[in-house]
Amino acid sequence: MKIRLLTRFVVIALLSTMGVACADFKPWVKPYERDNLADPIMSLSRNGFADTYMHHVYQAREGARGAEGGTGGGCGCN
Amino acid sequence: MPKVEREVVVVVTRVLKQAVSSRLTVRALSLCGALVGTLVASSFVSGATLPPDSVDLMYHNYDGGGMKINGPSLLVRKSIGPQVSVTGHHYVDSISAASVDVIASGASEYEEERTEMSGGVDFLYEKAILSAGYTNSSENDYEANTAYFGIAQDFFGDLTSLSLAYARGWDDVGKRDQDRSEFEEANRQNYKLGVTQVLTKNAIIGLDVDVITDEGKLENPYRSNRFIDPGDATNFLVQEENYPDTRTSTAFGLRGMYYLPYRASIKAEYRYFNDSWDIQSHTYDIAYSHAFQESWIFEVSYRLYTQDQAEFYSDLFPFANSQTHYGRDKELSTYDGTTIGFGVSYEIKQGVIPFVKRMQFSLQGDYLDYQYENFRDVTAEGSFLPGDEPLYQFDAWVTRTSLIVEF
């Protein structure tokens, strides 16, 4: 049941995102304003695999699992 | 910062987003491969830019609660043309175990090794990155295989990044002295959704949702639960664990980072977790990073984890087979865990070493402390009636030394 709900959520989110993404979107943070976001100090995984490793230290010792994140951050510049 | 240097930083940021495309598990006792399926989550890429060629070398060390685990990790990434990037990862856990679970079971300290190998490929198509990979984790009592597929894309002027992933795991579970043909299966499916959103020129947030389903042999075959001896109430007897054959869990993680007025950042995270075994947990994490001169970054962090027990957990059952499912695994109990972490990294930028675009050396240390509310230490010295033993607690040090080189 949870998986079905999640699937619906994902499909709706994807369709919505694709629809809006096709529009002429003006980003409110311009590429030249992303210096701070591009700084490594704003990375959620600055230390590469060493950061990922900690997630697994916790997974082995705690009942919870998943949604650790750890990737991403940064400026979204391409 | 000059434009060229800023562009390098942008690429570096992208690399770090993707350099974690490996799956590793750290194990307590011998049941560890079960985690592999959930680890693919870490391989999320973030859309539209393939990471540069790199080598990520790490040595890890865990010491606490009677467990010593250490070993190397080597992750190599290499591009093949402008649209394809492949990764290979080798990871080793060398384990020396004399934990409360081992001692309580009457076993003596043992040593063993787990080896994990994985390979993956990322394919860039316009603003999307398609990723696929395979992992094998092998040890003498657990074999885990996991395949995954993911897609990531940037939207809205690259202010939004959406990631989706699916992983499937096939594990074989047994005991060290058991023939492989007698091992039992545990299969796993993992659905993942991640969204990262740039809010302002100084703030970014991310949301992650994970749904994981397991089916098969989910007990740790080495662990047992205890019940009051019907012939002598001052004593207890033990029997094998009996968990449900299925488990479905959902986790929501929300995190944000903010760039402070000087070159520093603050990160806050919250995660809510629940599952079909009635385990519920909350995780709070906060970290502060501070730059010193151009190359140094110092970080301190604090993490709090709280958990409510599984519905079939008990430290001491009234009699044998007293309910349909029963377990005394301390990871199913009610407890809190805190972590205090610190780290330092030093970065060498492009132009200093020939052919090296960037190099980072880092040292990190974490102190973990777990306090259990209804799991008792049956190995405690002294004479106790069943159920009167002191509550269990342990602490541990985790250190990581890593070197990342990008070419």
Q: Residue A39: give the domain boundaries.
A: 2-59
Of A36, A48, A62, the CB nearest to B404: A48
| Closest CA in chain B for residue A57 | B26
Of B13, B192, B271, the CB nearest to A74: B13
Q: Which residue type does B231 have?
A: G
Three-state SS across B184-231? EEEEEEEEEEEEEEEEECCEEEEEEEEEEEEEECCCCCCCEEEEECCC
Q: State the nearest Cα–Cα gap between B197 and chain A, in angstroms.
A: 9
Give the span between the Cα atoms of A8 and A14, in whole angstroms: 10
pLDDT recorded at residue B339: 98
How many angstroms separate the most distant Cα atoms in chain A? 48
Of A6, A40, A58, the CB nearest to B13: A40
Look at A46 and B279 and tell me if their CB atoms are within 8 Å. Answer: no
- Residues in chain B with CB shorter than 8 Å from the CB of A47 are 16, 343, 345, 360, 362, 364, 400, 402, 404
**Is the confidence at residue B43, as pLDDT, over 80?**
no
Higher per-residue pLDDT: B107 or B56? B56
Look at A58 and B310 and tell me if their CB atoms are within 8 Å. Answer: no
- Residues in chain B with CB shorter than 8 Å from the CB of A52 are 20, 22, 24, 39, 42
β-pair type (B110-125, B84-97): antiparallel
β-pair type (B246-259, B264-275): antiparallel
pLDDT recorded at residue B127: 84
**Is the confidence at residue B322, as pLDDT, over 50?**
yes
Q: Which residue type does A70 have?
A: G
pLDDT recorded at residue B27: 33
Using the structure block, give the residue that is written with the tokens 């491969």: B33
Look at A71 and B18 and tell me if their CB atoms are within 8 Å. Answer: yes
Q: List, as one string, the DSSP characters of B240-289.
A: E-B--SEEEEEEEEEEEEEE-SSSEEEEEEEEEEEETT--EEEEEEEEEE
Higher per-residue pLDDT: B168 or B4? B168
Q: Give me the CATH code for the B3-406 domain, please.
A: 2.40.160
Delimit the domains of chain B by residue range: 3-406
pLDDT recorded at residue B20: 28
Other beta carbons within 10 angstroms of residue B298's beta carbon come to: 14
Q: Above pLDDT 70, what percent of chain B?
A: 88
Of A45, A67, A71, the CB nearest to B251: A67
B47: nearest Cα among A67, A34, A72, A43: A72
Q: Above pLDDT 90, what percent of chain B?
A: 73
Tell me the backbone φ, ψ of residue A32, rounded to 5 degrees. Answer: -75, 0
Q: State the nearest Cα–Cα gap between A55 and chain B, in angstroms.
A: 8
Return the sign of the alpha-carbon dihedral for residues B63, B249, B325, B307. positive
Higher per-residue pLDDT: B20 or B241? B241
The domain tally of chain A equals 1
- Residues in chain A with CB shorter than 8 Å from the CB of B345 are 46-47
Give the span between the Cα atoms of B98 and A22, in whole angstroms: 58
pLDDT recorded at residue A6: 56
Give the tens place of pLDDT for each residue, B6-15. Answer: 333 333 333 3
DSSP 3-state assignment of B163?
strand
Q: State the nearest Cα–Cα gap between A20 and chain B, in angstroms.
A: 8
- Residues in chain A with CB shorter than 8 Å from the CB of B27 are 60
Q: State the nearest Cα–Cα gap between A70 and chain B, in angstroms.
A: 7
pTM over the 0.80 mark: yes
Angle at B204 between CA B198 and CA B205, to 5 degrees: 105
Q: Which residue type does A33 have?
A: E
Mean pLDDT on B152-163: 88
Of A38, A53, A65, the CB nearest to B400: A53
Q: State the nearest Cα–Cα gap between A11 and chain B, in angstroms.
A: 11
A38: nearest Cα among B257, B345, B286: B257
Q: Assess if residue A64 is contained within a domain.
A: no
Give the span between the Cα atoms of B148 and B39, in whole angstroms: 10
DSSP 3-state assignment of B173?
strand
Q: Which residue type does B6 have?
A: R
For an interface test with B, give the residue of A29, A35, A51, A71 to mutate (most B CBs within 10 A): A71
pLDDT recorded at residue B140: 87
pLDDT recorded at residue B4: 36
Q: State the nearest Cα–Cα gap between A59 and chain B, in angstroms.
A: 7
Give the tens place of pLDDT for each residue, B338-359. Answer: 999 999 999 998 888 889 999 9
pLDDT recorded at residue B223: 86
Give the span between the Cα atoms of B267 and B271, in whole angstroms: 14
| Closest CA in chain A for residue B358 | A40
Q: Assess if residue A48 is contained within a domain.
A: yes
pLDDT recorded at residue B351: 85
User: Mean of the per-residue pLDDT values for chain B?
Assistant: 87
Show the tokens assigned to B272.
């809510």
Look at A41 and B49 and tell me if their CB atoms are within 8 Å. Answer: no
Which residues of chain A, if any, have pLDDT below 50? 21-22, 71-78
Element (H, E) at A35: helix A35-38
| Closest CA in chain A for residue B19 | A48
Half-sphere exposure at residue A46, Cβ-oriented, CA atoms within 13 angstroms = 31
Look at B400 and A50 and tell me if their CB atoms are within 8 Å. Answer: yes
Under the phi-then-psi rule, with left for phi > 0, alpha for psi from -120 to 50, and beta for the rest, what region is B113? Answer: beta
Q: State the nearest Cα–Cα gap between B399 and chain A, in angstroms.
A: 9
Show the tokens assigned to A41.
């100090």
B258: nearest Cα among B217, B279, B286, B236: B286
Show the tokens assigned to A74.
């940064």
Q: What is the helix, strand, coil percentage profile of chain A, to 5?
A: 55, 5, 45
